Structure 1
Amino acid sequence: MTPRSEDDIRRARDQLLSQGLQRFSVPPSLIPEEIEQSWRRSASVCVDPTAEPRMLGGEIDPDSTVLRAASRVLDQWKDSLSDSRLALLLSDQDGRIVSRRVDTHQVERHLDRVNAVEGFDYSEGSLGTNGLGTPIEARDVVFVRGSEHFNEALDQLACAGAPVRHPITGRIVGSIALASPVSYAHDLMTAMVRQVGNQIAQELASQADSRDMELARIYRMYRSAKNPVLVMNDQTVMTDLPTLSHLDTESHAVLWHQLMRHGWQQESFHLELPILGTVVTARRLGTSPQEPVFVLEFTEPLIVPGDTLSNSGNEPSDARKPSSGTESAPAVSQSDPDPYERVLRDLDSAAENSLTVGLIGGPGVGKRHQATAWLTQRTTHQPLVIHAGRLAPHAKPETREVWAAAKHALNSRRGIIVTNAAKLEVTTRRKLEQLATATLRLDNPARIVFIEQLEHDPPDAEQNPTVVTVPSLAELPGSLPVIIRQVSTKLFPAESPLRFAPAALQSLLTWPWPGNITELVEVLNSIPPAARAGLIQLHHLPAEMRLAGPRLNRYEQFERETIIAALRDAEWNKSRAAEISGIGRTTLYRKMRSLKITDEA
């Protein structure tokens, strides 16, 4: 392409920006149709042609589907392209570069100048027409030369790109591009990148184990039903795009956890999904009890306004209340009601009948926190907290000051929290109740809350309506993501909301949490700050949590140890580990998932 042709292309791009989409027209001989369409898409979303590529937050998952499948293909092509002044770039489905292979310093410098390196966003919506983002949008091979790039900084590059399509699901999972300086570009780059994309797709097919094939078969069988369907196992979801757009890692993990906990005494049951505002018929299929497949048939249409999706997970912000006769799945959007709302309501009811109320619960469930939140909400003042030992008759002389402070708090419309109240003597408790009767009037919202450790079964609410129980985390499994958000917001107020990889979230959901909120705080504090800023992986959690779930039998434990030994001998090269173990690579991947083996095991 001559320098004048480059000038003509630049002028045409400038005219598009100055004249607008309706008035702009370009001779077909100047730029290909797919480039003009990409220009128009870029202009319609107001892409800045002078913007620099931006780094996206979060770690690149080295075991992601597209990267795992492409690594060997990219290595082979890099050897074949030695001294060709061609570089290989791989992006994920969002257009973020996840891998780069470059063999010459000259091309490396070209790419570094425009931040064409791992972690940077090359989506069409961010940079406009380019060889990585445009193939994803066009869903076809695209060759972008020099000034055909929408971004001016890319004018010195030529890039042939192809989408990477999953052979089973048909979804585009990324893109692959061959890039070079404009002066070294040639038409063969189009055929070459198409071949690379096909090879990655073949690798995806070979890595798809029997579970994925079974999932695809079941989806094809049920998708012909009159209602939309969703088919899922613990790693994969297959459904149509309207339904998929309302699911994310968090909602999949919560839904999977609920389906696994269901008794399944019947072949199917009706399930209310507040996260989608609809009702489904749930079925359990699959021959293995440890690796089931669930089919959800949507018997009612989705009731989700298009503009009410949260930015953290694509869940609806206004979920319908469950109807009678259905089992409620926990909602997980940021607008979800507080999981402890029932505790606050019960405290309100108890306060209508008594000037003193009891709050009980197991160790670490957050009794003091809930009591403080409730009293602060009622009185708009922080309550006075008194340990029971400071009120005992045989205490030190400052006991009189404590009682005076208690009386002043009630007169000032502040509440009182008495911790470790089980240690109170009968006469001391009666004296506190008399103080409340003498001090509080009907219009005073303050109350005295006695906090006690739950040693046995909680009391019957009907027989003792003034005592309220705080549930343990084990009793709130579906609400755990919401609780994690609440706790992490208080622990790390200046940081972005925590994001968990699927395996990490599944581990949190299946953990029994014997220490309740106190243990959750310890776990979140143990996560490295760098991981909290990105995607929290399974290896960032405490070692004992990485095998949360059903215990392995003796044979499974032996098999797990054998595979881990083979992986270590092979320096975690899974192909070599499969050869050492005498099994196929696909079988190795399946066993690693079912036996909860990670690269950090």
Structure 2
Amino acid sequence: MTDPVRAAREQLIRVGLTGTYQAKDVPDVIVRSWRRSISSAAESAAPQRYREVDTDTLLGRAAVPVLDRWQHQLADTGTTLFLSDRGGSIVDRRASDSTERRRLDNMHAAEGFDYSEDSIGTNALGTSMVEKRPVFVKGSQHYSEALATNACAAAPIYTPAGLVVGSIALGGPLDAASPIMLSLAREISQQIGDRLRASSRPQDLALAMSFMRFSSSQRPTIVLDHESVLANTPGLPYVSVASHVMLWEVLNAHDWQSSATLRRELEGTQLEITARRVMDGHRGHFVVHFAELEPQTSHLVDVVPAPASVSFHPGAVTHGGGVAVVDGPRGSGRTTAVSDLRSEWGRSVALETLTVSPAATPWGTVEEWLEGGSDVLLRRMEDLPVEELPQLFDTVERRRQSRSGAPTSGVLFLTTDRNSSNPALVDHLESWGVQAKTTALADTPERIPGLVTRILNDLDPLSRHSISPAALQSLVQWDWPGNVAELVQTLTQLLGSVGASLIERKHLPKHLQQAPPRRHLSLIESAERDAIIRAMDAAGGNKSEAAELLGIGRTTLYRRLRQLGLDAGEGSI
């Protein structure tokens, strides 16, 4: 016998999103979801996307006691409880018996698998979050044929700010479907939401109150504090772990006593932010608006330019001069600046690289490369032996004199740190002109989130690893005496040693886990911080034992861990 629901779904797939279509006996919510599923090219087979999930989140901690209670009450009903995070991944599953667990495993209805509507199409877990309402999906109403033997009712879970943070579902075989499943899903969702509200910090509620003013605004807006960020729909593209940490550094570096509003360009983007601080007692949070930069924006006098991590000086020397100098401390990204200069100039020729050492530099080879049309990079000129300076000066002079007559010859790039270079070399740098300057990471910590993203993309092109907010915050707090080179080495070691897909603070070297906040600590705070570190080490990381050793309450210890930059918690909604 023909299944009319399956036939209706197949007809919509045939006619497409622009074709004429009218379904009978199919709820509008299901048809809307089918259309979205077709638009996103959702999978029609069982879910394949998998990632390791973190159960120690605010959502998980709020949901587990509720799931424990309902699992016991539903033990003999043949239904299964599912909890998904905001991304649609199942983070907890409570099946009634081993036979049902095996059946669900066969269709990948298990922890870690992606049941977002974008991934697997119409299904209760994912569709309820998109629709922001409880839904019941039965049999062939599922977009995926692999789920057609199931019935599932789900309801979204809301934060105190009214944001969907996940969903809860009751599912089972199609022949066990019952309308009461939808009522139970609503009730369980409400109970988890109540626990989220009860566990919310006072500052979370303050954030929510600020956010509600902008939740329906068409202006991209986010509200954030150290641990949380809320975004309206236009503001979602600007939110990520890296942007949260970077913005927090930028906003805290501003002198709010002298100016109640910050307006500034964000380095490496075509974005401008306008921000203000909202105080709630001794705590504060920020409201940030985003705007795309217009070409003339950079000339507005009231826009604060981003600190120059790499500042280019196109008027000083052009590549037509044959020589380009990048000045900055060692490890601050000078070689990357050279790469950026070459990209800016459209240099597609080969780049030969030499690092200065006590051994004599092969100047003849350098000349051959340049005359042959290759660009040459001489790194760390601050280490050039004084006896080789005349040869450098001669090479540079010949390059500058012959460049106009030999348009196909290469460009000589030099990286140096004038603060540690020979005075004779510094004098010549002034006459050659410095093409770009780089600064130390300690002076521009807001660069670190973007650099971490860039380095991870280079080291891990398959995106097998990501970094938690807490771990990224620790990287920002460290002063990086070895600059970018030290950051690259640290991330390389982490990728090689961490087996999990998520790099957490606990995986970082000890000195990074205990990196002090960038704000200046008083003598009392420094002593307190050292005492807490010793107590945590003695207690093996157990906070209850550490609090007893310190003679303070556990709640007090949690608060001081956050305030002193020692909180190793990875949890997030």
For normalisation by structure 1, the TM-score amounts to 0.77
Report the 3-state secondary structure (helix = DSSP H, G, I; strand = E; otherwise coil) of the residue aligned with 2:479: coil
Is 1:473 aligned to 2:468, yes or no? Answer: no
Measured after TM superposition, the shift of residue 234 of structure 1 is: 1.1
Looking at structure 1, the residues matched to 95 and 528 of structure 2 have their Cα atoms a distance apart, in angstroms, of 46
Is 1:11 aligned to 2:28, yes or no? Answer: no
Looking at structure 1, the residues matched to 299 and 53 of structure 2 have their Cα atoms a distance apart, in angstroms, of 38
| Cα pair distance change 1:461/1:597, threshold 3 Å | farther
TM-superposition CA deviations, 1:10-69 (whole Å, max 9, x none)? 3343344345566443444xx444334434443454545x32212244x32333332232
Does the CA-based 8 Å contact 2:265-2:303 persist in structure 1? no
Is 1:518 aligned to 2:518, yes or no? Answer: no
Out of 37, 40, 60, the residue aligned to residue 42 of structure 1 is 37
Out of 359, 365, 382, the residue aligned to residue 332 of structure 2 is 365
Looking at structure 1, the residues matched to 352 and 111 of structure 2 have their Cα atoms a distance apart, in angstroms, of 52
Partner residue of 1:82? Answer: 75
Is 1:539 aligned to 2:506, yes or no? Answer: yes
Is 1:283 aligned to 2:251, yes or no? Answer: no
Specify the code of the residue in structure 2 equivalent to 1:35: I
Partner residue of 2:473? Answer: 506
Looking at structure 2, the residues matched to 107 and 13 of structure 1 have their Cα atoms a distance apart, in angstroms, of 28
Partner residue of 2:130? Answer: 137
Looking at structure 1, the residues matched to 397 and 31 of structure 2 have their Cα atoms a distance apart, in angstroms, of 80
Looking at structure 2, the residues matched to 25 and 364 of structure 1 have their Cα atoms a distance apart, in angstroms, of 64
Partner residue of 1:207? Answer: 199
Looking at structure 1, the residues matched to 535 and 70 of structure 2 have their Cα atoms a distance apart, in angstroms, of 34
Is 1:441 aligned to 2:381, yes or no? Answer: no
Report the 3-state secondary structure (helix = DSSP H, G, I; strand = E; otherwise coil) of the residue aligned with 2:184: helix
Looking at structure 1, the residues matched to 82 and 532 of structure 2 have their Cα atoms a distance apart, in angstroms, of 38
Looking at structure 1, the residues matched to 206 and 107 of structure 2 have their Cα atoms a distance apart, in angstroms, of 43
| Cα pair distance change 1:508/1:153, threshold 3 Å | same
Looking at structure 2, the residues matched to 456 and 438 of structure 1 have their Cα atoms a distance apart, in angstroms, of 26
Does the CA-based 8 Å contact 1:277-1:320 persist in structure 2? no
Is 1:495 aligned to 2:462, yes or no? Answer: yes
Measured after TM superposition, the shift of residue 78 of structure 1 is: 1.7
Measured after TM superposition, the shift of residue 257 of structure 1 is: 0.6
The percent of aligned pairs where both chains have the same amino acid is 29
1:68-467 matches, within 5 Å, as 68-166=61-159, 168-219=160-211, 230-274=222-266, 277-283=271-277, 285-288=279-282, 291-296=283-288, 298=289, 302-303=291-292, 321=298, 323-329=300-306, 340=310, 342=312, 345=314, 348=317, 352=321, 360-367=327-334, 380-383=349-352, 385=354, 387=356, 389-391=358-360, 402-414=362-374, 421=381, 428-437=388-397, 441-443=402-404, 444=406, 446=410, 452-455=416-419, 464-466=430-432
Measured after TM superposition, the shift of residue 197 of structure 1 is: 0.6
Does the CA-based 8 Å contact 2:40-2:118 persist in structure 1? yes
Looking at structure 1, the residues matched to 455 and 221 of structure 2 have their Cα atoms a distance apart, in angstroms, of 35
Does the CA-based 8 Å contact 1:379-1:413 persist in structure 2? no
| Cα pair distance change 1:244/1:319, threshold 3 Å | farther
Number of positions where the alignment pairs a residue of Structure 1 with one of Structure 2: 548
Measured after TM superposition, the shift of residue 538 of structure 1 is: 2.2
Measured after TM superposition, the shift of residue 370 of structure 1 is: 5.0
Measured after TM superposition, the shift of residue 110 of structure 1 is: 1.8
Measured after TM superposition, the shift of residue 546 of structure 1 is: 2.1
Q: Which runs of 5+ in 2 are unaligned?
A: none
Does the CA-based 8 Å contact 2:156-2:168 persist in structure 1? yes
Partner residue of 2:542? Answer: 568
Out of 451, 455, 469, the residue aligned to residue 483 of structure 1 is 451
Report the 3-state secondary structure (helix = DSSP H, G, I; strand = E; otherwise coil) of the residue aligned with 1:430: helix
Which shows bigger deviation, 77-86 or 373-382?
373-382
| Cα pair distance change 1:484/1:98, threshold 3 Å | same
Q: Which runs of 5+ in 1 are unaligned?
A: 306-317, 331-337, 392-398
Report the 3-state secondary structure (helix = DSSP H, G, I; strand = E; otherwise coil) of the residue aligned with 1:170: coil
TM-superposition CA deviations, 1:304-355 (whole Å, max 9, x none)? 89xxxxxxxxxxxx9964732322358xxxxxxx964627x48735984xx7
- The alignment's C-alpha RMSD in Å is 4.3
